[in-house]
Structure 1
Amino acid sequence: MNSHEKHKYHWPRIGKRPRPKLHQDDITIVDAKMAKKAVVATALGNAMEWFDFGIYSYLAVVIGKVFFPSLSGSVQLIYTFATFSIAFIVRPFGGLFFGRLGDRWGRKKVLTITLLMMAISTLCIGLIPSYASIGVTASVLLLVARLVQGFSTGGEYSGAMTFIAESTPDKRRGFLSSGLEVGTLIGYIAGSGLVTLLTYILGSEQMVAWGWRIPFFVAAPIGLVGLYLRRHLEETPAFEAMEKAKDENKPKVPLRELFSKHWKVMLICTVLVFFFNVVDYMVLSYMPSHLTAVLGYGEAEGLLLILIVMFIMIPIVLAMGHFSDRFGNKRIMQIGLAGLLVLSLPAFLWIGSGKLGLVFLGLLILAVFLTCFEGTMPSVLPALFFTDVRYGLLAITYNISASLFGGTTPLVMAWLINLTKNNLVPAYFLIATSIIGLVVVTLWFTETSGKALRGSPPAVAEKQEIKELLEEPEEALWWHEEHVMIQESESEKR
């Protein structure tokens, strides 16, 4: 079976819980070219999203001067990050809206819509007049544009993870899905690189006057390229197979009932997203402003350090994705959490030392442990949910957690440092986060590397793999017992 063919999965009868049946036609043989195309198209769209977040983060000090000129330095930064964080309030609503649509209409259609919305809203930020021109209206328009970005992002990243996970063979899901985070880094690198170059060429005064607008204008054509590629993708084999097998007479499950059936896995997902986002936004979004506004490094110097670190991260992310396929994603996540638990405090001490070599070393340590999550999460999170609810529940859970813990990280760090006057607060925050993550991953997370996605038969890269799967259907359909329990629960309620 290739990625274009659809087959109805042979679900076993409920009640007696017989040995799960797996037929050769149920197994998807993934077209390698289609899988790579899916990764590139999805990662490019993700790069555009994080290009926007990157330029906003790296321009935080400048944006504060443009839209909040009456405030002092540290308070100005807090207001700027508050506008950054406010977009995360609407992300869960975007996740709910686009996630449910993605499970009904398909992954491809919804990802096309979200990318278009992001491109338009990003362009609009570059067109907003300054506070000096139209007063508080400028700040309000910035807020509106950020809210539109947040709403569309609610369906973007979770949909991108779902699309790639459903378009790749099980044994290479970790490596190929890590390409999504490579897109994230490329977006950040492009954004930070452009800001660094403009800051060096134009200087601080010209950046405040008009130079800050250029990166937002550049984002629009990136979005159009991503939009073109996504429109020419095919729907994922897992979604097509689900549509083929779907019973049109089966009543739609209310959202409340979905939550009641899947609350345990949603809780685990919430914690995974929590520590992933806290570390991600701490290193990639907050640190540039921390280096400049808190520690007093030059703007161009701080941006350049982060830029170099992100370049180094790209091959490490891919390596972590590969290692997760080989050694298990659970083990890679544990290594990342344990490393942050032990080395976060030394890393921030070195970052605050004022010595360039130690500053770079501290940043690099945090970044390397971050890659343990960037290389695994795009394949881990979609595998938590069954195919028929994957996009919707992942989008809702991911965005609630990201809104509460991830996007607020820069704001919380700026506020806590201003309150306590202690520059090591971010290190203590990372240590506490790592303890929570390590407990949950160790005790409650089930290894998913190399296994079929929940609710889907196996996906392989070569025909030779099919024979082995047919000999061990219980292992191939490892999620069968869990699925039977959910169906029995549904039957009892009816």
Structure 2
Amino acid sequence: MPVDLISPHNKELKINDITIIDNKKLKKAVAASALGNAMEWFDFGVYGFIAVTLGKVFFPETSGSTQILAALATFAVAFIIRPVGGIFFGLLGDKLGRQKILATTIIIMAISTFCIGLIPGYASIGIWAPILLLCCRLLQGFSTGGEYTGATIFIAEYSPDRKRGFMGSWLDFGSTAGFLVGAGLVTLITHLLGDEKMLEWGWRIPFLLAGPLGLIGLYLRSNIDETPAFEKMQEKQQSDAEHGISKISLKEIVTRHWQPLLICMGLVIVWNVTYYMLLTYMPSYLSSNLHYSESHGVILIIVIMICMLCVQPFIGLLSDKVGRKPLITIASFGLFFLAIPSFHLIMHDDVIYIFTGLMILGVLLSLLTGVMASTLPALFPTSIRYSALAISFNISVSLFCGTTPLIAQWLIEVTQNLMMPAYYLMIVAVIGFVAISFTKETANKPLRGATPAASDKAEAKELLQEHHDSIEAKVEDLTAQIDALTEKREQLIEQHPKLN
């Protein structure tokens, strides 16, 4: 696939301008980023799958449906502070580097998750129990504001241009794996302990495991190098500072880059609302609203996640071949036209129908998760990538995505219509289609503001040759346009009595 490579400094592109990515460092960066992200989604998965139990532990004086709403509200409230964390860590990430921030966010996430497992229940300390739970969730939300976006950028800036989709897909492979481990662990503990002991103390086990997982993630992230793109950007910024060129402020990011910010928000909305609807809310929907066996519902979602794990890397690889836009477009169309049929299947009594409905949503979600980690970082230049992505990503997640379980359940309670989640998915599908319509294809192209990146010297030569071929094609096209304009000029002159 021909690519248009433009040097960020408007100079002639030479072979030495193309960054050769060390394969060992790339694998290490992907592993460290994916593991940290897996831990983040392990927590969110555990919370979603154990929401019914948490409602009984922390809100025992309310009714069953209100308990679930209260637990989901505590889940959602953590998203309120995510934009604050995004701005804080985003600005630091563009100033100090991606690696330092990723090492910080994972330890904050591990500590706050571990502390949830230590909180006494409402029966022991009364109102202080939900208050402490809320504090831990806010701390989680603050750290998460810089976690996913930083990990996404880290992999994107480390990846060769031709493999960015495939490498980026492993980040959300970690997300789904975290969800899967969390769901599997909750199911296993519930099966071994039973409902009574699970309610008494078993629910603490998944949260306490965050401690050792966080230490492993911290070790991996502390032993990786900074991204080549950021190091080159620092060199350029030092040169700019010497010439009196100042850095872009937060206000300038919003005013000068408002279009990619809005595009990013739209893509995040369709992706994350679908994610939270299927993987976080659906177990509660199946058990509380459809009165389906809680353990059977969790098992179905686990099977869906296993299927997603199998296909996500292939989706990323496919996006390097056919582009990101076609896959996101298909997913958006699919959600709009198949959301209602999927929920009709889910509401059926037969487990085969239920699984088929969930699987349809899982396939559409995989089309999004497989490409977003390579699509979103490409929207912004290197100098503001962390800040801009963190702001747009976390505002979307905070206002629309993290509240998905709460809004879906509330809509059902208000309307008494079990199809409301399907209508909600249709709305976000329209948002996703509009956003991708205004997005330029970025597959096989360098990130904005960065020089091209290749896997080896031979690939670098191919990229350089494609760049030269692209220039020649543009020159030929301009020559043809000039010839056509010249011919039209002569025709017009001949028609004018005073010019010919």
Fold match (TM-score > 0.5): yes
Q: CA deviation at 1:472?
A: 5.0
The aligned counterpart of 1:160 is 151
Matched, 1:328 2:323: yes
Letter in 1 for 2:401: G
Provide the residue aligned with 1:262 in structure 2.
Answer: 257
1-structure distance, mates of 2:216, 2:465: 45
Alpha-carbon deviation of 1:217?
Answer: 0.7
Counterpart position of 1:179:
170
1:275-300 superposed Cα distances (whole Å, 9 cap, x missing partner): 11110111111111111111111121
Query: Counterparts of 1:371 and 1:57 in 2: how far apart (Å)?
Result: 19
Q: Matched residue of 1:111: which SS? A: helix
Which one-letter code corresponds to 1:414 in the other structure?
A: Q
Task: For residue 166 of structure 1, give the secondary structure of its aligned residue in structure 2.
Answer: helix
Name 1:116's counterpart in structure 2. Answer: 107
Aligned pair 1:11/2:6, yes or no?
no
What secondary structure, in the 3-state scheme, does the structure 1 residue paired with 2:117 have?
A: helix
Give 1:207 shift. 1.1
* Matched residue type, 2:451: P
Which residue is equivalent to 1:253? 248
2:85 match: secondary structure: helix
Structure 2 CA distance for partners of 1:475 and 1:360, relative to 1, 3 Å: farther
Where does 1:203-282 land on structure 2 (aligned, <5 Å)?
203-246=194-237, 247-249=240-242, 250-282=245-277
Counterpart among 368, 379, 386 of residue 381 in structure 2: 386
- Which residue matches 2:343? 348
Q: Does 1:456 align with 2:454?
A: no
CA contact (8 A) 2:453 2:460 kept: no
For residue 402 of structure 1, give the secondary structure of its aligned residue in structure 2.
helix
1:129 maps to amino acid: P
Task: Say whether the 8 Å CA contact 2:8–2:450 is kept in structure 1.
Answer: no
Deviation string for 1:78-137 (max 9, x for gaps)?
A: 111110000000000000000000001000000000000000000000000000000000
Relative to the length of structure 2, the TM-score reads 0.90
Q: How does 1:80-91 map to 2 (within 5 A)?
A: 80-91=71-82
SS in structure 1 at match of 2:209: helix
Out of 456-465 and 20-29, give the one that drifted further: 20-29
Answer yes or no: is the 8 Å Cα contact 1:452–1:476 preserved in 2.
no
Instruction: Measure how far apart 1:474 and its partner are.
Output: 7.7
Aligned counterpart, 1:53: 44
**AA of the residue aligned to 1:457:** T
Equivalences for 1:57-96 in 2 at 5 Å? 57-96=48-87
Structure 1 residue 273, shift from structure 2 partner: 0.6
Residues 352 and 359, structure 1, Cα contact 8 Å, conserved in 2:
yes
Counterpart of 2:193?
202
Equivalence for 1:469: 463
Give runs of aligned pairs for residues 283-362 of structure 1, distance below 5 A. 283-362=278-357
Q: Contact 1:457 / 1:476 at 8 angstroms: preserved in 2?
A: no
Q: CA deviation at 1:436?
A: 2.2
Rounded to whole Å, the distance in 2 between the matches of 1:85 and 1:475 is: 51
Please say which structure displays the higher CA radius of gyration. 2
Alpha-carbon deviation of 1:156? 0.2
The secondary structure found in structure 2 opposite 1:423 is coil
Matching residue of 1:3: none
Q: Distance in 1 between matches of 2:470 and 2:320?
A: 16
- Code of the residue aligned with 2:364 in structure 1: it is F
Aligned-partner SS, 1:376: helix
Q: Which residue of 1 aligns with 2:418?
A: 423
Q: Deviations over 1:359-380 (max 9, x none)?
A: 1111111011000010000000
Q: Quote the offset at 1:60 in angstroms.
A: 0.3
CA contact (8 A) 1:458 1:476 kept: no
Residue by residue, what CA displacement relative to the aligned partner does 1:43-91 show, whole Å, maximum 9, x if unpaired?
0000000010010000000000000111111111111111000000000
Matched, 1:146 2:154: no
Q: Retained in 2: the 8 A contact 1:451–1:476?
A: no
Question: TM-score, normalization: structure 1?
Answer: 0.91
- Structure 1 residue 307 displacement after superposition: 0.6
Number of aligned residue pairs? 461
Determine if contact 2:332/2:429 at 8 Å carries over to the other structure: yes
User: 1:291–1:297: 8 Å Cα contact kept in structure 2?
Assistant: yes
Against the structure 1 CA distance between its residues 72 and 450, is the aligned structure 2 distance closer, same or farther, given a 3 Å change threshold? same
Deviations 1:339-376 (A, max 9, x none): 11121111111111121111111111101100001000
2:395 and 2:382 map into 1 onto residues whose CA distance is 20
Q: Root-mean-square deviation (CA), in Å?
A: 1.4
Name segments (4+ residues, structure 1) moved above 6 Å.
474-477
Counterpart amino acid of residue 9 in structure 2: W
Deviates more, 1:339-348 or 1:363-372: 339-348
Look up the SS of the partner of 1:449 in the other structure.
coil
Partner of 1:368: 363
Question: How far 1:473 sits from its partner (Å)?
Answer: 4.3
Query: Secondary structure in 1 aligned to 2:81?
Result: helix
Give the counterpart letter for 2:134 in structure 1: L
The separation in 2 between residues aligned to 1:421 and 1:440, in whole angstroms, is 32
Return the alpha-carbon distance in structure 1 between the equivalents of residues 52 and 456 of structure 2.
52
When structure 1 is superposed on structure 2, of 243-252 and 371-380 the one drifting more is 243-252
